[in-house]
Structure 1
Amino acid sequence: MPILHPIFVIIFLFLAFGSYWEIFRLQKKQSVFVWIAGILIVIAVGFRLNAGADYPVYKMLFSGFAMYTTYGDVLDKALFRPNTEQIEWIFVLINKLVFDFGFPFYIVTFIMALITVSLKFTAIYKNVAFPTLALLFYFMPIMFFEDSGQMRQGIGIAFCIASFKFIKDRNLSMFLLCMYIALGFHKTSVAFLPAYWLVKIPMNSKRIFWVLVIALLCSPLELYRFGGGLFSSISPDDLSGAYTGYLDDRYYGTEVETGLNDIVKLFFIGILIKYDKKGCENVLWYEYMRNLAVFGLALFYFFRSNEIFAVRLPGAYMFFMTMFCMSNLVYAVREKTRQILYIGFMSYLVAMFFYFGKGNGDRGGFTSDRYTNALW
């Protein structure tokens, strides 16, 4: 049976040990676990070679950006002026600078990994009581899909997560700056723009339940189709074009398949509803995190009949669901309940480690017989 490369096994075992030590021994966060995990992940992701679903495409584009794109094109894209560039401008700029300085492509992946890991890990450490458990949720399997696969969206999500500081501070100008930078990496970051106001909506367990039920009932109606005209009138052409282009996409414009992902989501939703009051009482800013998580779930169910929208648009919001809310609820509850939640989460993560290894991990080149790294 295919199994992930030893570097990923080491990271998983280290985070599993660290989470247990933080929760049941120290009962407080430890920055050393975050630092060590961050360094290992940056090395594993940043210097990878030919690993990740989108790696061949990104590598092919690397030289293309340098030969067919000018810095003037990048500037036009940054200022939303008419241009022919299809890829977001900050990502193009990083590639072009690395190529012009004569460095290989793995320097691009290293820069991307360094930025995204720094932003995500910093936000997790500051906002989660037991950050090592949150990092374990991130590592298995979000790291492989986002930061080792869809790198542009992964780093766009990282800036959305970093903007949570300014959402809490009610600093609109800095929040919008984060959104502008996030859009410079991936168009889907625009979906996070309402987050600044969503956090202020009063919610409770009953409202969470009904919001999700209504979103699910709306899914077959495909109401999002009526938003194409409105979206094109209030957003730049490349954003509205991407939205309308995916409405009936040949490969991704179909309904999300029912499977393990739905079972996991229902499990998380049950925990979110059951322990909502505990989270609000014991975790600072939990109401903000919960609102963003609920909106992400609502987006998923609302767009369920279109796979690309259901998977891509809730990305940043779902980060708050697993890494922030689930991990903080382990802190919010006490004694036996904490043990039950931890055992349940760890059982899921261990199962996911093997399930991912023999599936997407093998196909993506992350297994022991296929993964290679520029450092060894």
Structure 2
Amino acid sequence: MPILHPIFIVIFLFLAVASYWEIFRLEKKQSIFIWITALLIIIAVGFRINVGADYPVYKMLFSGFALYTTYGDVLDKALFRPNTEEIEWIFVLINKLVFDFGFPFYIVTLVMAIITVTLKFTTIYKNVAYPTLALMFYFMPIMFFEDSGQMRQGLGIAVCVASFKFIKERNLFMFLLCMYIALGFHKTAIVFLPAYWIVKIPLNSKRIFWILIFAVLSSPFELYRLGGEFFASLSPQDISGAYTGYLDDRYYGTQVETGLNDIVKLFFIAILIRYDKKGCEQVLWYEYMRNLAVFGMALFYFFRSNEIFAVRLPGAYMFFVTMFCLSNLVYAVPERARQFLYLGFMAYFVAMFFYFGSGNGHRGGFTIDRYDNALW
């Protein structure tokens, strides 16, 4: 059976030990654990060679940006002026600068890994009581899909997550600046724009339940088809074009398959509803995190009839489900419940480690027999 490369085994084991030590021995967060994990992930993700679902496409675009794109084209894209660029401007700029300075493509992935890991990890550390547990949720398996696969969206999500600081401070200007930067990495960041106001909606367990029930029941009606005109009236043309282009895509425009992912989400939802009051009482800013997490879940079920929308559009919101809410609830609940949740989550991580390694991990090149790194 295919198994993930030793670099990923080391990260997994380190986070497993560090999370246990942080939660049940030290009972407080440790920045050294964050730094060690960040370094290992930057090495594993940043220096990888021909690894990741979208790697061949990104590598092909690397020289294309440099040969067929000017800095004037990048500026036009950044200012929303008419242009022929189809890829977001900050991503293009990074590629062009690296190419023009004569560096190989893995420097692009290294720069992207440094940016996304720094933004995500610092935000997690500031807002989560036990950040190593949150990083385990990130590592297994979000890191492989976002920051080692759909890298542009991973960067966009990183900026959206970092903007949580300005959501808490109610600093609208800085939040909108973050949204502009996030759009420079991936156009799906536009979906996170309402987050500034969503956090203020008063919710409780009953309201969370009915919001998600409505999202599930509305899915067959495909109400999201009405969004094409809405995006066309508010967004740059490439955003509305991407939205309408995926409405009936023959590959991605199909319904999300029912399976293990649904069972896991139901458990996560049950935990969020069961311990909502504890989270609000014990964790600072938990109501904000929870609102974003609930909205992400609702988006997933609302768009369930279209796979690309269900997976891509809730991305930044879904980050708050596991990395922020579930990890903080382990801190908020009593000791016995804490042990129960931790054991349940660790069982999930172990199962996901082998399940992912033998499936998408092998196909993406993350296994022992296929993974390659520029450092060895």
Q: TM-score band, normalised by the shorter chain?
A: over 0.9
Question: Which residue in 2 is equivalent to 1:29?
Answer: 29
CA distance in 1, matches of 2:274, 2:89: 43
TM-score (norm 1): 1.00
Following the alignment from structure 2 to structure 1, what is the Cα–Cα distance between the partners of residues 349 and 168?
A: 30
Match of 2:133 in 1: 133
Describe the superposition over 1:84-141 as per-residue Cα deviations: whole angstroms up to 9, x where unpaired. 1000000000000000000000000000000000000000000000000000000000
Matches within 5 A, 1:10-89: 10-89=10-89
Matched, 1:353 2:358: no
> Which deviations, in whole Å up to 9, do the C-alpha atoms of 1:52-87 show, x marking residues without a partner?
000000000000000111111100000001111000
Pair 1:246-2:246 in alignment? yes
In structure 2, what is the Cα distance between the partners aligned to 1:118 and 1:229?
36
User: What amino acid is aligned across from residue 27 of structure 1 in structure 2?
Assistant: E
Q: Hey, what's the Cα distance between the residues in 2 that align with 1:333 and 1:253?
A: 40
TM-score, structure 2 normalization: 1.00
Matches within 5 A, 1:162-201: 162-201=162-201
Q: Which residue of 1 aligns with 2:283?
A: 283
Q: Work out the CA distance in 2 between the residues paired with 1:365 and 1:227.
A: 36
Q: Deviations over 1:198-249 (max 9, x none)?
A: 0000000000000000011111001111121121011110111011111111
Runs of 5+ unmatched residues, structure 2: none
1:194 and 1:248 mapped to 2: Cα distance? 26
Partner of 1:121: 121
SS of equivalent residue, structure 2 residue 292: helix
Query: Identity, % of aligned pairs?
Result: 83
Equivalent residue, structure 1, for 2:374: 374
Please give the secondary structure, in 2, of the residue aligned with 1:49.
Answer: coil
Once the 2 structures are TM-superposed, how far is the Cα of residue 334 of structure 1 from its aligned partner? 1.5
Per-residue CA deviation, residues 270-303 of structure 1 (Å, 9 max, x unaligned), is: 0000000000000000000000000000000000
Q: Tell me how far apart the structure 1 counterparts of residues 372 and 304 of structure 2 sit (CA, whole Å).
A: 36
* Distance in 2 between residues matched to 1:233 and 1:352, nearest whole Å: 41
Aligned equivalents of 2:187, 2:246: Cα separation in 1: 13
In structure 1, distance between residues paired with 2:326 and 2:337: 13
SS in 2 for 1:48: coil
Q: Distance in 1 between matches of 2:246 and 2:210?
A: 28
Superposition RMSD on alpha carbons, in Å?
0.4
**C-alpha deviations, 1:164-215, integer Å up to 9, x for none?**
0000000000000100000000000000000000000000000000000001
CA distance in 2, matches of 1:222, 1:4: 38
Q: Where does the alignment leave 5 or more consecutive residues of structure 1 unmatched?
A: none
- The CA distance in 2 between the partners of 1:33 and 1:226, in whole Å, is 46
Which residue of 2 is the match for residue 209 of structure 1? 209
> How many Å separate the matches in 2 of 1:128 and 1:74?
37
SS, match of residue 82 in structure 2:
coil
Q: Give the Cα separation in 2 of the matches to 1:195 and 1:19.
A: 29
| Distance across 2 between alignment mates of 1:137 and 1:230 | 34
Matching residue of 1:321: 321
Residue 159 of structure 1 corresponds to: 159
Question: Deviation of residue 316 (structure 1)?
Answer: 0.4
Q: How many pairs align?
A: 376
Secondary structure at the aligned position of 1:251 is classed as coil
Letter in 2 for 1:128: V
User: Following the alignment from structure 1 to structure 2, what is the Cα–Cα distance between the partners of residues 316 and 279?
Assistant: 21
Match of 1:304 in 2: 304
Q: Which residue of 1 aligns with 2:3?
A: 3
What amino acid does structure 2 have at the position aligned with 1:98? V
- 1:222 alignment counterpart: 222
Moved beyond 6 Å, runs of 4+ = none
The 5-angstrom pairing of residues 237-276 of structure 1 reads: 237-276=237-276
Q: Amino acid of the residue matched to residue 284 of structure 2?
A: L
The residue number in structure 1 matching 2:93 is 93
| Mapped partners of 2:226, 2:130: distance in 1 | 42
